[in-house]
Amino acid sequence: MTQRKIIIDTDPGQDDAVAILVALASPEDIDVLGITCVAGNVPLDLTTRNARIVCELAGKPEVRVFAGCDRPLGRDLVTAEHVHGKTGLDGPDLPEPTMAMADGHAVDFIIDSLRDHAPGTVTLCPLGPLTNIATALQKAPDIARRIAKIVLMGGGYFEGGNITPAAEFNIYVDPEAADIVFKCGAPIVVMPLDVTHKALVTKDRNDAFRDIGSPVGIAVAQMTEFFERFDKEKYGSDGAPLHDPCVIAYLIQPDLFQGRHINVEIETHSELTMGMTVADWWGVTDRAPNATFMNGIDADGFFDLLTARLARL
């Protein structure tokens, strides 16, 4: 696999943190042009703080971290401290960051990066609400045809939702933004709850992270230990789903995942099902396919990949 240029758009979040660490540990596959932060799991001042903590944990303070949108396009921000703790990165005791934020707005960085590189060479990796990406598409519609691919974590079909019965958190927080992204015409790969709820950090898998023995391995084990209490209580599952690293793992080893190229629309009107990803899995409409919607994962292969990559940092 050749090296891919990516922008990670994120709201860290312990699972976002693991995704960022795996990307930064994989320079032969992934060139992280920058990290763009958005309000989501916690407000923007904390997601920008947390992204920098993670870069410093990885030993990569030179990574450019940009601040983006501090609220959804047309709604009040909904956050998820009930899952991620009050900082969004509760669990390990990590130092406050000393690296500076990059100058400029995340949305402009996304636009400029897509315009400055050859068409089809920059992949966007949204791991939070889609506000930054949608704002970039609204401000500069020409970028849509320059995007190599959008590989995002969001939505759910067979699993339903995790913030409402119908909606997954990232899509629910800013459904209008998600609607813009899913209609933009760029190739889209979706890692929904249908995949991520099969990527559970069992005790053995978390022990493998901790047994790396490095500050990164220990911090990741502590993050997932914190994060898992919520899902264990809610679903009675074996451990926390590592949602966002599925996006990065797909870039490195796409054959870990299976899905279908189908039509996916976002519900933006019904209060009952707001933010639902209406996935035409069975092809019962004649709506044109616009996304590859994943449903299967080789979970052991996924955790082997994560552990091997995290061990490099």
Q: Where does this chain bind ligand BDR (CB under 6 A)? A: 13, 15-16, 41, 80, 83, 127-128, 153, 162, 168-170, 243-244
Number of residues near Ca ion (by CB under 5 A): 6
**Is the Cβ–Cβ distance between 182 and 171 less than 8 Å?**
no
CB of 112 vs ligand BDR, minimal distance in Å: 25
**Is the Cβ–Cβ distance between 68 and 107 less than 8 Å?**
yes
Which residue of 8, 13, 146, 221 would you call a contact of Ca ion, by CB under 5 A? 13
Q: Could you tell which of Ca ion, ligand BDR, none binds residue 162, using a CB distance below 5 to 8 A set by kind? A: ligand BDR
303 exposed, middle or buried (CB, 10 Å; 0-12, 13-18, 19+)?
A: buried
Residues in region 92-131 near Ca ion by CB under 5 A: 127-128
Among 179, 159, 123, 135, residue whose Cα is nearest residue 39: 135
Among 22, 91, 31, 5, residue whose Cα is nearest residue 313: 22
Residues in region 127-146 near Ca ion by CB under 5 A: 127-128
Nearer to Ca ion, 22 or 262 (CB): 22
DSSP 52-90: HHHHHHTT-TTS-EEE--SS-SSS-----HHHH-SSSS-
Q: Could you tell which of Ca ion, ligand BDR, none binds residue 88, using a CB distance below 5 to 8 A set by kind? A: none
Amino acid at 128: G
Q: Could you tell which of Ca ion, ligand BDR, none binds residue 83, using a CB distance below 5 to 8 A set by kind? A: ligand BDR
Contacts of 27 (CB under 8 A, 6+ apart): 3
Q: How far apart are CA 87 and CA 274, in angstroms?
A: 27
CB of 153 vs ligand BDR, minimal distance in Å: 5
Q: Look up 243 and say whether it is catalytic.
A: yes
CB of 118 vs ligand BDR, minimal distance in Å: 29
Amino acid at 255: D
Nearer to Ca ion, 35 or 262 (CB): 35
CB of 13 vs ligand BDR, minimal distance in Å: 4
Tokens found for residue 239: 């451990």
Nearer to Ca ion, 128 or 275 (CB): 128
**H runs (alpha helix) in 162-281:** 169-173, 175-182, 193-196, 203-211, 215-235, 245-252
Nearer to ligand BDR, 132 or 146 (CB): 132
Judged by CB under 5 A, does residue 88 bind Ca ion? no
Nearer to ligand BDR, 65 or 80 (CB): 80
Question: Across the strands, what pairs with 260?
Answer: 293
Nearer to ligand BDR, 111 or 159 (CB): 159
**Is the Cβ–Cβ distance between 241 and 200 less than 8 Å?**
yes
Tokens found for residue 70: 């501090």
Among 308, 15, 261, residue whose Cα is nearest residue 153: 15
Q: Could you tell which of ligand BDR, Ca ion, none binds residue 151, using a CB distance below 5 to 8 A set by kind? A: none
Which residue of 9, 16, 194, 231 would you call a contact of Ca ion, by CB under 5 A? 16
Q: Site residues (CB under 5 A) for Ca ion?
A: 11, 13, 16, 127-128, 244
For the annotated catalytic residues, the residue numbers are 243
